[in-house]
Amino acid sequence: MPEFFNVLPPQRALQALLDAMPPPAPGTEEVAVDEALGRITAHDLCAAEELPAFPRATVDGYSLRAADTFGASEGLPAYFTVVGEVLMGHPAEVSVFRGETAGAYTGGMLAHNADAVVMVEHTQQVDANTIEVVRPVAPGENVVQPGEDIRRGEAILPRGHLLRPQDLGGLTALGITRVKVTRRPRVAILSMGDEVVSPDVTPAPGQIRDINSYTVAAQVSRAGGEPLALGIVGDDYEEQLTAARKGLKRADALVLSAGSSVSSRDMTADIINALGEPGVLVHGLSIRPGKPAILGLVEGKPAFGLPGNPVSAMIVFDLVVRPTLYRLAGCVHPPEPSIAWAALTLDIASAPGREDYVPVQVYGNGHGELMAEPVFGKSNLIFTLIRADGLVQVPLDKAGLYAGETVPVRLF
């Protein structure tokens, strides 16, 4: 078929697009830390202070000078005078000298002059003001030193980091309550085809309801982007071009869900070429399903033509659009897809020179093993993916996979 003049494996196609894209220069915005989960840092962040800011006890017990405990044992305990305690949340107001100690609490400060904490379990109360210590402690034992968590000036998080719950905790620990993050990439989504109608319409014979606007929008959200649904346009070149041009003006990337006939697919390529330079970069992927996919670049903005078939569209999105969105957001290490290893229950045939993606159901076999059972049915039907838990990839260089093989399942 003429349009498949430079069919590429998805990884090479993606690389060709990323290489052609200008360096990411996402806009930034400042958000409160408690709204920053999943966002991407816009700058390197350094610690303006050290943590902890004071020596903290890691156990409940008594702070003292470690040297005074050397040689202590059950048979020959060391005796200490309790000269006070340091309460939680309070500064140390007591100092300890030779043979003196002060009560200490987990997370609390040590007394001045103390360099270690002895656990309460290794002490005995002798009288109101005296304890015996039955085990020696080393200097620094049961203590977190100032700066041991993070030193002043040390890097906290690099630019392009996807913020996780613990990262937010690290920021608040340092008093950082607002953080500069990159703007979510906005992705314009246009569903095309004379046969496609809105889901709230009863389709006439020959028509189908729009699926791809919704699956793609959800995939955009999941990849940290902001979907901008442009609606449905029929198979009219001028109308499609106008809608695509308007959409791309308001967005950072464009996804066209093409009609499924060859002529509609050709039209998608023409539209991406007409939108601007350089236009179509890759026309066709060596995968099944998903072959009739287009990757392009228009004045620095990525533009994709996804197959009309919803299963193909979702797989192509996952393989090439998703990583592109993370790149647009300035994310340096996008999250890897979730993988489960499972044993195939059936042979899967493929053809060398093509990556196949086969929907599978994953289930435990009752003996602690995961099994992956291919979902029967034509692979271009949306309910195939709904019945599935993930996809098994048959690599480019293999003619198939055998029942019993343990394979990675891309949870989907």
Pick one of 50, 68, 100, 210: the residue that binds a second copy (CB under 8 A).
210
Q: Based on the shown chain and the rule CB under 8 A, indicate whether residue 128 belongs to the binding site for a second copy.
A: no
- Whichever of 59 and 298 has its CB closer to a second copy, that residue is 59
- Whichever of 147 and 279 has its CB closer to a second copy, that residue is 147
Q: Based on the shown chain and the rule CB under 8 A, indicate whether residue 214 belongs to the binding site for a second copy.
A: yes
Beta bridge partners of 392: 358, 409
Residues 315-334 within binding reach of a second copy (CB under 8 A): none
Q: Which residues contact 128 (CB under 8 A, 6 or more apart)?
A: none
Torsion of CA 17, 21, 27, 28, to 10 degrees: 70
- Whichever of 27 and 199 has its CB closer to a second copy, that residue is 199
Nearest to 318 by CA among 393, 245, 370, 400: 393
Report which residue type is found at 97. F
Residues 61-120 within binding reach of a second copy (CB under 8 A): 86-92, 105-109, 120
Size of site (CB under 8 A) for a second copy? 100
| Shortest separation between residue 276's beta carbon and a second copy, angstroms | 28
Options 9-17, 159-167, 272-280, 344-352: segment touching a second copy (CB under 8 A): 159-167
Task: Give rounded-to-5 percent helix, strand, coil for the chain.
Answer: 25, 35, 45
- Whichever of 153 and 199 has its CB closer to a second copy, that residue is 199
Find how far residue 209's CA is from the centre of its chain: 32
Residues 332-351 within binding reach of a second copy (CB under 8 A): 336, 338-341
Q: What is the largest CA-CA distance in the chain?
A: 95
Options 5-13, 128-136, 259-267, 274-282: segment touching a second copy (CB under 8 A): 259-267
- Whichever of 59 and 275 has its CB closer to a second copy, that residue is 59
Q: CA separation (Å) from 371 to 97, 255, 334, 407?
A: 66, 35, 28, 10
Distance CA 223, CA 334 (A): 9
Instruction: Provide the 10 A C-beta neighbour count for residue 301.
Output: 20
**In b/e form, how buried is each residue of 267-284, taking b as 16+ CB within 10 angstroms?**
bbbebbbebbeebbbbbb
Q: Which residues contact 36 (CB under 8 A, 6 or more apart)?
A: 163, 168, 171, 179, 181
| Shortest separation between residue 48's beta carbon and a second copy, angstroms | 11
| Shortest separation between residue 1's beta carbon and a second copy, angstroms | 8
- Whichever of 137 and 281 has its CB closer to a second copy, that residue is 137
Distance CA 257, CA 213 (A): 8
CA angle, residues 304, 306, 311, in degrees to nearest 5: 145
Pick one of 15, 81, 361, 380: the residue that binds a second copy (CB under 8 A).
380
Q: Based on the shown chain and the rule CB under 8 A, indicate whether residue 310 belongs to the binding site for a second copy.
A: yes
Q: Based on the shown chain and the rule CB under 8 A, indicate whether residue 3 belongs to the binding site for a second copy.
A: no
Q: Based on the shown chain and the rule CB under 8 A, indicate whether residue 28 belongs to the binding site for a second copy.
A: no
Q: Based on the shown chain and the rule CB under 8 A, indicate whether residue 204 belongs to the binding site for a second copy.
A: yes
| Shortest separation between residue 320's beta carbon and a second copy, angstroms | 16
Residues 29-58 within binding reach of a second copy (CB under 8 A): 33-34, 37, 51-54, 58
Options 13-21, 124-132, 193-201, 394-402: segment touching a second copy (CB under 8 A): 193-201
Which residue's entry shows tokens 């293999």? 398
Distance CA 326, CA 301 (A): 14
- Whichever of 68 and 389 has its CB closer to a second copy, that residue is 389
Distance CA 81, CA 97 (A): 10
Q: Based on the shown chain and the rule CB under 8 A, indicate whether residue 169 belongs to the binding site for a second copy.
A: yes
